[in-house]
A and B are shown apart, each in its own frame.
Chain A
Amino acid sequence: MHEGSRRFRFEVSFPMTRLYFFQGGVHPSELKISQDTPIEELKIPDRIVVPLSQHIGAPCEATVAPGDRVRKGDRVGQATGFVSVNVHAPISGVVKSIGIFPHPIGRPLPAVEIESDGEDAWTDKLKPHEKYMDLPPETLKEIIRDMGVVGMGGAAFPTHVKFSPPKERPIDTLIINGAECEPYLTADHRLMLEEPENIIAGSQIAMRILGVDRGIIAIESNKPDAIDKMKGLTEDIPVLEVVALRVRYPQGAEKQLIKTLLNREVPSSGGLPMDVGVIVQNVGTLSAIYKAVRFGIPLIERITTVTGSGVREPKNLRVRIGTPIEVLIEACGGFTSDVGKVIMGGPMMGVSQYSLEVPVVKGTSGIVVQLLSEVEEGSAQPCIRCGSCVRACPARLMPTVLGVFAQLDMFEEAERYDVVECIECGCCDYVCPAKIPLVQLLRYAKAEILTRKKAA
């Protein structure tokens, strides 16, 4: 099929060009038990802990001191370096302390502790832009950075960095990622149903920044209501099309999404979507971009799904950044019985938490609570060389071989077998009948290779 016919079909908004497939992946039970629960506003907690490092890149420097009064939206952390964004006060109140607090990544990190004054008053520094589409792309990028917008799908990569591809990498397509392929999570789903206008407006801003005239809204077909809603709203916008994806984990991973939609392959060894002319943004991020640009509202809240058989009433909550997860679980009626695991993020890629004091951060898409009976499993057995992990790996690696290399400290070999291409999606772990902790082994090998490179 040549370019012309494709464009033609596209403009008369025919059904989408055919879908391609990515290799590997798994289909775990979807368990989207909270998909019909409308977003609920969580009451403002008395105390909030805002980590200064909520994104990939350099942590912020605190710009407030203990005792300072802050109002909602005031900047409390200043970005340091290009790959860094500001953080803002999610509530109004008094800065109680600046110290080291528990962080979802597993080790305590610097954060600003704010005690609420109960007023929830906005700062007077908000800068709305009514005619935002007339702003030059550079100004838009600056606003996005100042308002602390990061990728809200989980990785929390600063959005303005993604929007700054070098000149030699022309971008032709923006992919709007509403796949939400992790089991349980429904935050993006609800957002698409309840705030689709924000997502579409955000997408238009993103396309203006990138100078592209093609945007694809990608949604897994297990969310038919969201697909219909988005289709209805984009009918008059020819540059945006909605595509229903087959349900397959990790469909929402950037590289797999690009392969499925455009049949383009992001080159290995450090390749990025921009190398194939694509930028992928999560729907939540685009909604945040719109709010930041149109109303000057910084990223101080997000939608988080609290779910799993361990909570009484699974819900989709609109929460302020920095709210301890304890408060979220309480708002969902507390734990049902013996809790085995509290996972921040989805069950496939999320991080288990050992403390309920950790705060919600910009990348917290969900809290999944699993019961003890669900997580208790026997210990790892020897590999039976069934090859399930090799078939399941969407990065087309050989997890079992890499796992053995990691166990034997054969890091050079592991590197030669491209362990650094592992996206840590967890498919290999999920299918392994011997219960070998493959992702951990691969992460270990990756970490070791990185430290050795740094040392050299």
Chain B
Amino acid sequence: MASLGLGLVARRFGVELDPRVEAVERLLPGINDGGCGYPSCSQFARAVVEREAPVTGCVAGGEATALALAELMGVEAVLGEKKVAVVLCKGGKEESTTKFTYRGVEDCKAAVIISGGDKACPYGCLGLGTCKRVCPFDAVVISENGLSTIDSERCTGCGICVKECPKGIIQLVHIGKRVNILCHSKEKGSEVRKKCKVGCIACEACVRVCPFEAISMEGDLAVLDHERCRVCGLCISRCPTQAIEARDGPFPQVEIIPDKCTGCGICSMVCPVDAIEGEKKEVHVVSEERCIGCSLCIDRCPTEAICMRAPGDSALRLASP
């Protein structure tokens, strides 16, 4: 009798649930990471169905999820570029000094309670793996050298580690922006030198060399504006402490379309690495060895005869304006 009653009540008062909500939820990773701004995957699913959240909102699911959701909802997905986390510290056990021997809980957040951790540099990666512990995608590896490194293949840019790192040295960067200044120390150059071999010593060499004014000094730290950076990598060779690094992958390069080149020579004049050669009024050629793909020549070519060489990787196209 009671079950009959319950059944009737359920039928009478039951709330209609949009079946699409469940369908959307099935397509989501289900890790409730909160990267979308909603507390859980099911809440995000409801928001997608109610058209409150974009189908591209799921950071962790990435491109595949966005496309699947777009298909289900009958909309077009406008894909942004994937972001990945980058740890802004290169000073592992080898390169940096410590204040004391730490013996305690193997966790960065617990370790910072004790005099800010054992690293002499107050901005250094402690390498005790709080980021590794919280990463839902196993994208963090703690190296032998006691540094946290992020596998950009596995990283989905969900941003959990960024929030959890007690030193605040993890940053989300578009995957194409492969050049990063891997130091976050705001201390004076002389202090940094004492504590770490690979820190930013505020020499400003990178600021001077950057053709795009993408690097500026924030106090005693060089900071890269990724919006302006064109991933030319000029700064990498200039940094005396090797604090600037590029993630793996080929650098973009330019090529000259022979039919359009008038041989004016402007490109060879603006090229910061002398990679373009050719006689006046003759078709110019780009040296594959030297070109760093900064695209300065593209900006200046009067006949639009220079373009980026199609690199295959969609991310790299960002380097062209």
Contacts and interface: CB of A to CB of B under 8 A. Distances in A.
Interface of A: 105-107, 351-352, 354-355, 377, 379, 406-407, 437, 440-441, 443-444, 447-448
B197 interface: no
15 contacts: A105-B115, A106-B114, A107-B122, A352-B114, A354-B99, A354-B115, A379-B103, A407-B105, A440-B105, A444-B105, A444-B107, A444-B109, A444-B113, A447-B113, A448-B109
Given A107-B122, A351-B115, 9 more contacts: A107-B115, A352-B100, A354-B100, A377-B103, A440-B104, A443-B113, A444-B109, A444-B110, A448-B109
A58 B107 CA distance: 30
Interface of A is mostly: mixed
Most buried by A among B105, B107, B114: B105
Nearest to A448: B109
Contact of B110 (A105, A106, A355, A440): A440
Contacts of A377: 103
A441 B106 CA distance: 10
Nearest to B100: A354
Interface string B91-117: 000000001100111010110011110
Contact of A106 (B104, B107, B116): B116
Contacts of B116: 106-107
Top 5 A-B pairs ranked by shortest CB distance? A106-B115, A444-B110, A354-B100, A354-B99, A437-B104
A326 to B, nearest CB: 16
A355 B103 CA distance: 17
Given A352-B100, A354-B99, A440 B109 contact: no
Given A354-B99, A379-B103, A441 B114 contact: no
Given A352-B100, A354-B100, A444-B110, A437 B115 contact: no
Contacts of B107: 407, 444
B99 A355 contact: yes
Contacts of B110: 406, 440-441, 443-444
A262 B99 CA distance: 45
Nearest to B122: A107
Contacts of B122: 107
Nearest to B99: A354
Contact of A440 (B99, B100, B113): B113
A112 to B, nearest CB: 21
Nearest to B116: A107
Contacts of A444: 105, 107, 109-110, 113
A448 B109 CA distance: 9
A106 B99 CA distance: 10
Contacts of A355: 99
A407 B99 CA distance: 25
B176 to A, nearest CB: 33
Contacts of A351: 115
Nearest to A406: B110
Interface in B110-133: 110, 113-116, 122
Contacts of B100: 352, 354
Contacts of A437: 103-105
A355 B115 CA distance: 11
B99 A441 contact: no
A143 to B, nearest CB: 35
Contacts of A443: 110, 113
A441 B115 contact: no
A441 B103 contact: no
B115 A440 contact: no
Nearest to B118: A354
A79 B147 CA distance: 42
A352 B116 CA distance: 12
A354 B99 CA distance: 6
Nearest to B120: A354
A377 B101 CA distance: 12
A109 to B, nearest CB: 12
A107 B123 CA distance: 12
A448 B107 CA distance: 13
Contacts of B114: 106, 352, 440
B97 to A, nearest CB: 11
Contacts of B105: 407, 437, 440-441, 444
B71 to A, nearest CB: 37
Nearest to A446: B113
A444 B109 CA distance: 7
A107 B122 CA distance: 9
A387 B100 CA distance: 32
A377 B99 CA distance: 19
A447 B110 CA distance: 9
Nearest to B133: A409
A383 to B, nearest CB: 13
Nearest to A375: B103
A237 B84 CA distance: 73
A105 B38 CA distance: 39
A333 B103 CA distance: 29
A105 B109 CA distance: 17
A106 B118 CA distance: 11
Contacts of A106: 114-116
A225 B99 CA distance: 42
A233 B104 CA distance: 47
Nearest to A435: B103
Contacts of A440: 104-105, 110, 113-114
B61 to A, nearest CB: 24
Contacts of A407: 105, 107
A382 to B, nearest CB: 13
A440 B105 CA distance: 7
Most buried by A among B104, B115, B122: B115
Contacts of B115: 105-107, 351-352, 354
